[in-house]
Amino acid sequence: MALVRKVALFGASGAMGQSVAPELERRGIPYRVVGRSRQKLQQAFGGLPHAEIFPADLADPAAAAAAARGVDTIFYTLGLPYPQHNLHPVLMRATLEAAAAEHVERLLLISSVYPYSAPTTPRVAETHPRNPPSRKGRYRAEQEDLVLEAHRRGDIAGMILRLPDFYGPHADLGLANPVFRAALAGKTANWIGPTGTPHEFVFVPDTGPVVLDLASCAECYGEAWNFGGAGEITAVDFITRIYRASGHAPRYRTAGRRLLSVLGWFNPLMRELPEMLYLQETPIILDDRKLLAKFPAIRKTPYDEGIQKTLEWMRAPDQGLGRPTIP
């Protein structure tokens, strides 16, 4: 019998949820899409053969339990705006309590590079220290710890998948997609921090197969796994490729600590950015050799191909409103 038989996608309407759904459809696995807005869920998943629409506020214990009822695996893909990052451990506790109450067997958390300390090695493996210098990183680390502690207690089989910055369809809350939108409009893009340091980006559709491969691997639970991008690239190189693919000359401006601090007097979001600048100044480049050794067939979309596909998605008249692209 297959390990993963029915999935609940918590935070389904975000970029990660909409990257996993096509792979669930391809493999014929029924899944429940969970989010606060029925309208967003219906727009993204309505009519897909294996999707069940299930609006729920995961902060409500009864609603979280109902969302977890009858599934064997939860994929936790929920993202939060910077000012609400303190809710990451709160919502994870609620999810784990709901999973225990409903006898859910497995949980896979999609995380980020935030829980890592500032890098002490050229590439950061899963064994790298996790002592993040930012509040948002500490919230993410606490969220991860809750999952792995629940696994150690035997409450649930849990695992972590850590990703770098991402771009592509439905990823407009990331750092990169606004650059694509500016390029298509022939406007100047905004970038946070230096543009000449090494960086990496993952093309969001690449994550779906990785999530399903890991979730279907019984011995992969109880651990964290890194999945890096298509290679090191500087922000200026990435921006330049986007503009050239869009048919425009590159135009961008950067914001450093001083400007962000001033803007933070007037804008709560800008106030949250300075503590995250270390990720641009001393970037974390993920070492994902453990994952690639386990699953050698994993594909990473080259940057130029991913950039072209992202531009095509943005140019489509119904982009952002329709359902995920199903292969």
Mean confidence (pLDDT) of the chain: 91
Q: With CA atoms as reference, report the closest residue to 290 among 165, 164, 162, 125.
A: 125
Q: Which residue segments constitute the domains of the chain, with CATH numbers given?
A: 7-172+200-229+284-302 (3.40.50.720)
Cβ neighbors of 139 (< 8 A, separation 6 or more) are 85, 86, 88, 89
- Confidence band (pLDDT; 50, 70, 90) for 265? low
* pLDDT over 50 at 286, yes or no: yes
pLDDT of amino acid 16? 95
The CA-based angle 255-186-270, given to 5 degrees, is 25
The pTM is what?
0.93
User: What is the crossing angle of helices 207-215 and 15-27, to 10°?
Assistant: 60
- Given a contact cutoff of 8 angstroms between Cβ atoms, the answer to whether 298 and 213 are in contact is yes
Specify the higher pLDDT residue, 231 or 191: 231
pLDDT digits (tens, 9 = 90+) for 147-192: 999 999 999 999 999 999 999 999 988 889 999 999 999 999 988 8
Other Cβ atoms less than 10 A from the Cβ of 317: the count is 6
